[in-house]
């Protein structure tokens, strides 16, 4: 059965009709599971037998649900406010010791009570509140963002609260006696002084305590002058009520604290790597089952590719990301792009790791089954390099998808030895034999291997897929250290065999979410503009039904353009996505008909095309301004000639010149007719013999037509 952690199912029979439960935990044996009702405000985890659930599914008593009402707690297009983060982090700090244990103690009622009592004594938080936090966490999908408050449903919505200048925080005892607020509020100026003091007096090798660093910071940055005592300048400090306290200093230090930076500054980088860095050890031993730990890394492919838009153009070397399951060594996802190693490439690989591989491979003309590439899950943890998964993007993985992110220190590639070795294997097995591959060594005078490039991005991705399928199925790992249970089950050391065995015997780490939810949390964001021509982004125009119904483009033409936040997939520019805060839904934007030329193309190739177009336009400016100069000079020459000729015949009377315009026009028209008429049979005219008179050439001569008289009458009629 397809039952994983976080799966939702609904009972359809008996008194349990309408009851929706979430799978919270699956025992390592696969016999027991723990579930909770998501709509019951007083629900608690309950134990059930997995075989009973599977039997109920078979009998139609249980319906597996795909949509998760709590899946959109936050996204990169709907960031979490600082107030919500503070509430969430406070709740998390209270329940984290309870739910972070992987042995399921939090789901055993007798043990859960003692754990909650310990947390209550340690934090001072009442048990009722702790139960509320745990229930929100479990019912909301077991992510940190499940603890976000629903402040939008309380208070006066839309009413702005005015801040005051009074002293914040708990009043001091002296202020209660004097009934006068004492102390100062920490503003940005004071925080900057705190930072400078920390850097000068605490983050050094002298071993200064935080209390001593605070005192030195006051003396250095908060004094109001100096006094001379025994020939020594002594700083004079204001009254204590006019100075920040050590509590404030300590609070802001820990709020902005970087533990790694602190240890490296106070003890040295070498000491940090020896005694304080995270110890991974044997990666396989740390990964108890499939999905326990994924490793992700990037490399620049040793091959040059060509553009699919213009195959005569070489576009350089691609950036390849691989994601490998540490337990089974199965490659669970990959990406190939032209984007340098960054979160963008890592995002594409993470999305691919959760994608249905059968549908994904069919896009490249490769037909497989679920057995050939069975991975389409989220992991419990990811081990990555510093850079790609640091900052807000990594926070979104942790808070929204509940993925623990670990980053290796600089120059520690040996920490990810599994995936580092796979890069070398892929290069030796496939890339080095393809036209356009980097040839090492390359001696002077040798043929430029870059000119041999023949593959585009789509074709190279297809080759990578074939290489991955071969690795997962046929890469034998005789060096793999199997435990006694694998040996008893006669498991062969192939990645796909280890994955299948782990799913059956060591499950509980793999999680699934709807594809649109995963993409919502992974897609990079950008700013687009609503214009009269469409929604403008990266030199292309998009539209959607919502924009048409609400007349966005008409409004942009009347009131001017405005900006919107969108998400996009760099692999395909056919669609971009708009997040609606009101409906909590994604709206798909489509390319308008006038830009259909770029359908099915990569963003990288399209951006490259427009960049080249802009460069060509800039280069053409030289010819343009030169041609304009020639144009203006020619016009000026003709005007000068006309001015010179006209000045010789200027009429003595201006009124006479104006009054004779009509007669002058008629005369000029007659002259034009007499000199510019067409002679169609001029070349075929034959001369008459001299001895023949006109009367002898024809029997009839037509009388003369009064053409001139008719023209005069017509002119008079027009003048009247």
Strands (DSSP E) along 376-472, which ranges?
Answer: 381-384, 404-407
For the chain, which residues make up each domain, given as ranges?
Answer: 8-65, 82-150, 184-275, 283-518, 524-619
- Cα separation, 43 vs 474, whole angstroms: 48
- Cα separation, 97 vs 115, whole angstroms: 8
Close Cβ partners of 64 (under 8 Å, ≥ 6 residues apart):
2, 3, 7, 8, 9, 57
Predicted confidence (pLDDT) at residue 630 exceeds the cutoff of 80: yes
Neighbours of 544 (CB within 10 A): 19
- SS3 category, 300: strand
570-595 mean pLDDT: 74
| pLDDT above 90 as % of the chain | 8
Close Cβ partners of 323 (under 8 Å, ≥ 6 residues apart):
294, 295, 296, 331, 332, 333, 334, 349, 350, 352, 353
- SS3 category, 620: coil
Instruction: Give the pLDDT of residue 112.
Output: 85
Instruction: Give the pLDDT of residue 101.
Output: 65
Instruction: Give the pLDDT of residue 413.
Output: 45
Task: Dump pLDDT digits (tens) for 384-397.
Answer: 776 666 655 566 67
DSSP 8-state class, residue 409: P
**Mean of the per-residue pLDDT values of the chain:** 79
Predicted confidence (pLDDT) at residue 361 exceeds the cutoff of 90: yes
Task: Dump pLDDT digits (tens) for 267-299.
Answer: 887 777 666 766 544 455 567 788 888 888 888
Question: Going by CATH, does the domain composed of 8-65 fall within 1.10.287?
Answer: no
Full-model pTM: 0.48
Task: Concatenate the DSSP letters of all residues of 272-286 into one string.
Answer: IIIIIS----SHHHH
Residue 362: pLDDT band by 50, 70, 90 thresholds?
very high
- Cα separation, 86 vs 70, whole angstroms: 20
Instruction: Give the pLDDT of residue 529.
Output: 93
Which of 12-16, 19-23, 298-302, 697-701: highest mean pLDDT? Answer: 19-23
- Sign, Cα dihedral of 653, 657, 658, 663: positive
Close Cβ partners of 298 (under 8 Å, ≥ 6 residues apart):
319, 320, 321, 341, 345, 346, 385, 388
- SS3 category, 663: helix
Task: Dump pLDDT digits (tens) for 656-676.
Answer: 777 778 888 888 888 777 777
223-236 mean pLDDT: 84
Task: Dump pLDDT digits (tens) for 123-132.
Answer: 889 989 998 9
Instruction: Give the pLDDT of residue 641.
Output: 83
- SS3 category, 242: helix
Which of 285-294, 492-501, 611-620, 648-657: highest mean pLDDT? Answer: 492-501
Contacts of the segment 388-394: beta carbons below 8 A, 24+ positions apart: 388/296, 388/298, 388/341, 388/342, 388/343, 388/345, 388/346, 389/296, 389/343, 389/346, 391/343, 392/76, 393/76, 393/343, 393/347
Among the listed residues 306, 164, 169, the one whose alpha carbon sits nearest the alpha carbon of residue 247: 169
Task: Dump pLDDT digits (tens) for 422-440.
Answer: 566 666 667 777 888 887 7
454-474 mean pLDDT: 89
Residue 701: pLDDT band by 50, 70, 90 thresholds?
low
- Sign, Cα dihedral of 377, 381, 383, 387: positive
Measured between its terminal Cα atoms, the distance across the chain in Å is: 100
- SS3 category, 403: coil
- SS3 category, 107: helix
How many angstroms separate the Cα of 68 from the Cα of each of 73, 85, 141?
10, 22, 8
Among the listed residues 556, 494, 493, 492, the one whose alpha carbon sits nearest the alpha carbon of residue 530: 556
Q: Tell me which fold the domain 283-518 belongs to.
A: Nucleotidyltransferase; domain 5 (3.30.420)
Which of 164-178, 392-406, 535-549, 606-620 is least confident?
Answer: 164-178
Instruction: Give the pLDDT of residue 686.
Output: 53
Exposed / middle / buried, residue 219 (Cβ in 10 Å: 0-12, 13-18, 19+): middle
21-27 mean pLDDT: 87
177-205 mean pLDDT: 84
- Cα separation, 299 vs 297, whole angstroms: 7
Among the listed residues 311, 653, 671, 330, the one whose alpha carbon sits nearest the alpha carbon of residue 469: 330
Structure tokens at 407: 């980053």
DSSP 8-state class, residue 567: E
pLDDT top residue among 410 and 348 = 348
- Cα separation, 134 vs 498, whole angstroms: 35
Pair 321, 297: CB distance under 8 Å:
yes
Question: HSE of 246 in the Cβ direction (CA atoms, 13 Å)?
Answer: 8
Which of 394-408, 510-524, 632-646: highest mean pLDDT? Answer: 632-646
Residue 194: pLDDT band by 50, 70, 90 thresholds?
very high
Residue 161: pLDDT band by 50, 70, 90 thresholds?
very low
Which of 70-84, 392-406, 483-497, 681-695 is least confident?
Answer: 681-695
531 bridge partner residues:
534
Residue keyed to tokens 């025992």? 27
Task: Dump pLDDT digits (tens) for 53-103.
Answer: 888 888 888 888 887 777 666 555 566 778 888 888 898 889 888 887 656
- Cα separation, 330 vs 480, whole angstroms: 13
Predicted confidence (pLDDT) at residue 260 exceeds the cutoff of 70: yes
DSSP 8-state class, residue 689: P
């Amino acid at each position: 059965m397809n039952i994983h952690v976080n799966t939702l199912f609904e009972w359809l029979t008996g008194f349990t009709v309408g009851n929706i439960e979430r799978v919270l935990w699956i025992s390592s044996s696969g016999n027991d599971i723990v579930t909770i009702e998501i709509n019951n405000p007083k629900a608690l985890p309950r134990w059930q037998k997995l075989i009973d659930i599977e039997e109920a599914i078979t009998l139609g008593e249980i319906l597996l649900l795909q949509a998760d009402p709590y899946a959109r707690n936050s996204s990169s297009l709907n960031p979490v406010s600082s107030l919500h983060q503070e509430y969430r982090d406070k709740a998390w700090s209270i329940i984290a010791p309870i739910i972070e244990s992987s042995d399921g103690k939090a789901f055993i009622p007798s043990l859960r009570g003692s754990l909650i009592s310990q947390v209550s004594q340690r934090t001072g938080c009442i048990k009722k509140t702790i139960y509320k936090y745990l229930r929100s966490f479990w019912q909301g999908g077991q992510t940190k963002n499940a603890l976000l408050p629903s402040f939008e449903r309380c208070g006066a919505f839309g009413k702005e609260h005015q801040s005051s200048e009074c002293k914040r925080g708990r009043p001091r005892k002296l202020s209660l006696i004097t009934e006068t607020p004492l102390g100062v509020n920490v503003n940005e100026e004071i925080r900057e002084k705190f930072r400078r003091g920390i850097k000068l007096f605490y983050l050094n090798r002298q071993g200064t305590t935080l209390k001593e660093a605070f005192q030195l910071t006051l003396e250095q940055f908060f004094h109001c002058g100096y006094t001379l005592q025994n020939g020594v300048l002594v700083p004079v400090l204001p009254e204590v009520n006019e100075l920040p306290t050590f509590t404030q200093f300590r609070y802001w230090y820990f709020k902005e604290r970087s533990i790694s930076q602190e240890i490296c500054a106070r003890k040295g980088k070498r000491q940090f790597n020896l005694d304080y860095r995270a110890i991974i050890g044997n990666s396989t031993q740390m990964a108890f089952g499939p999905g326990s730990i994924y490793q992700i890394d990037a490399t620049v492919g040793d091959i040059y590719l060509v553009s699919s838009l213009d195959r005569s153009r070489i576009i350089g070397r691609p950036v390849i990301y691989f994601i490998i399951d540490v337990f089974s060594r199965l490659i669970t996802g990959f990406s190939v792009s032209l984007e340098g190693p960054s979160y963008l490439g890592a995002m594409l690989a993470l999305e691919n790791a959760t994608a249905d591989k059968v549908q994904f491979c069919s896009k490249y003309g490769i037909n497989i089954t679920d057995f050939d590439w069975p991975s389409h899950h989220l992991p419990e943890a990811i081990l990555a390099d510093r850079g790609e998964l640091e900052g807000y993007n990594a926070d979104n993985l942790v808070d929204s998808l509940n993925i623990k992110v670990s980053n290796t220190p600089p120059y520690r590639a040996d920490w990810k030895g599994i995936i580092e070795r796979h890069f070398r294997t892929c290069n030796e097995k496939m890339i080095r034999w393809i036209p356009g591959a980097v040839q090492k060594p390359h001696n002077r005078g040798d043929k430029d291997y870059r000119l041999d490039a023949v593959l585009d991005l789509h074709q190279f991705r297809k080759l990578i897929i074939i290489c991955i399928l071969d690795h997962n199925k046929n890469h034998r790992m005789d060096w793999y250290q199997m435990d006694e249970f694998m040996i008893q089950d006669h498991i062969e050391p192939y990645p796909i065999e280890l994955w299948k065995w782990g799913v059956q015997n060591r499950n509980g780490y793999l999680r699934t979410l709807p594809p649109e939810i995963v993409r919502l949390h992974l897609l990079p964001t950008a700013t687009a503009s609503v214009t009269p021509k469409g929604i403008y982004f990266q030199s292309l125009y998009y539209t959607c039904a919502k924009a048409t119904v609400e007349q966005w483009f008409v409004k942009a033409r009347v009131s001017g353009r405005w900006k919107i936040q969108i998400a996009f997939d760099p692999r395909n520019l056919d669609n971009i996505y708009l997040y609606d805060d009101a409906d909590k839904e994604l709206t798909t934007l489509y390319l308008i008909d006038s830009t259909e030329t770029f359908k099915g193309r990569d963003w990288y190739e399209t951006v490259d095309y427009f960049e080249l177009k802009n460069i060509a336009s800039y280069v053409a400016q030289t010819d343009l301004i030169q041609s304009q100069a020639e144009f203006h000079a020619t016009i000026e020459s003709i005007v000068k000639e006309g001015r010179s000729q006209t000045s010789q015949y200027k009429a003595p009377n201006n009124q006479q010149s104006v009054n004779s315009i009509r007669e002058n026009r008629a005369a000029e028209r007659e002259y034009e007719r007499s000199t510019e008429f067409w002679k169609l049979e001029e070349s075929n005219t034959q001369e008459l013999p001299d001895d023949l008179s006109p009367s002898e050439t024809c029997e009839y001569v037509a009388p003369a037509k009064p053409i001139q008289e008719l023209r005069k009458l017509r002119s008079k009629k027009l003048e009247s």
